[in-house]
Structure 1
Amino acid sequence: MTAARLPVTRALAALVKKSTGRPCGVGELPRVQDESGEWKPASAPYTILDSLPGEFSGPPLSDWHADAAWTYQVTSVGERDDQVQWLSDRVRAGVVGRNDDGDEWAHDLHVPQARVIDRELSYDAAGEPSVSAAGAIVSYVQRFTITVTPA
């Protein structure tokens, strides 16, 4: 049985939010609750987590879909280049950072009913500025692959 993707997505979004201290939207602009309880778009900087195609593997002569390698793109968004570099550094450290001994992940990625067996940073771009009617923004893209196996 292949590990489901949604629990991995939720766990990764929670890890990005915790490790950066900034809002993380899943597939969309993150929303935050104001003092009155009303939901509104988050102010920069923030991250957006998008799902990309996955890959499947497993032991031969058994369930070759047992393991799933889910790929995600994390886009850090800010008003200045220094903001997105700072935010992307925190994303990188949160997702693939190691402890001081280098033998364990710095942050736990707990996925219900699955065991994370690998984390990989496969793409790390520089900040790209753009100007829209709302003003200037800078985005920084990183892609991570999270490999899980059923627990």
Structure 2
Amino acid sequence: MIDRTPVTEGFMALLAELTGFPVEQRTVPIDPATGKPVPPPYTILDPLDFITDDNTLADRHAAAIDTYQATFVSGPDPTVPDSRGGGQQSQLLADRGRRVIERPINGAPGYKHPLNVGDGVGCYRREAREAGGTSDANDAIITSVIRYRLFLAEEPA
């Protein structure tokens, strides 16, 4: 059976590495030094569906499809009074987040950026789909949203 926790932790680490900004699950990231929310930009990752049924009579739950929604949040520049988040900043974060599905340029199999999803489990397919965002300048933030599906399987011993 595939546990979701290591997949979520590995995916959060990969998004943080690719975007260069903090990622937190279901909430605004907290600065460990101050205990307060970090200012944007950052990413909020919401786990959605986790399907383990492969529709076979002898299903061992050795495969899963894990779905996430990543909200890439822009925000005001703290060094500029009355600044607002912008579409360009949130789109830049989303562009970096889409690198999750980037393939090697030399045609090698797999993905360019490794995803650690736990011992004995591999991610053999990844999908990313733009799902919208917000654009209300009165909020002082602008977001872009991507939904990901990760196709997982236990690796043979």
Q: TM-score, normalised by structure 2?
A: 0.82
> Quick check: 2:6–2:117 contact (8 Å CA) kept in 1?
yes
Corresponding residue for residue 85 of structure 1: 91
* 2:101 match: 96
2:40 aligns to what?
44
Give yes or no for contact 1:130–1:137 (8 Å, CA) kept in 2. yes
Structure 1 residue runs of 5 or longer lacking an equivalent are none
Secondary structure at the aligned position of 2:52 is classed as strand
Contiguous gaps of at least 5 residues in structure 2: 75-84
1:61 and 1:18, CA in 2 relative to 1: closer, same or farther beyond 3 A?
same
Shift of 1:40: 1.9
Q: In the alignment, is the contact (CA less than 8 A) between 2:131 and 2:147 conserved in 1?
A: no
Could you say which residue in structure 2 is the equivalent of 1:119?
126
Question: Partner amino acid for 1:63?
Answer: D
Deviation digits for residues 75-123 of structure 1 (CA, Å, limit 9, x no counterpart): 0000111000100000001x111121243311000111211121111x2
Indicate conservation of the 8 Å contact 1:129/1:136, yes or no. Answer: no
The alpha carbon displacement at 1:124 in A equals 0.4
Counting aligned pairs with the same residue, the percent is 34
Structural mapping, 1:55-74, within 5 Å: 55-58=51-54, 60-63=56-59, 65-74=61-70
Structure with more of its chain in strand, by fraction: 1
Could you tell me which residue of structure 2 aligns to residue 150 of structure 1? 154
| Distance in 2 of aligned mates of 1:31 and 1:90 | 21
Instruction: Give aligned pairs, total.
Output: 143
Q: Which of 104, 107, 111 is the aligned partner of 1:105?
A: 111
CA RMSD of aligned residues (A): 1.8
* C-alpha distance in 2 between matches for 1:130 and 1:77: 12
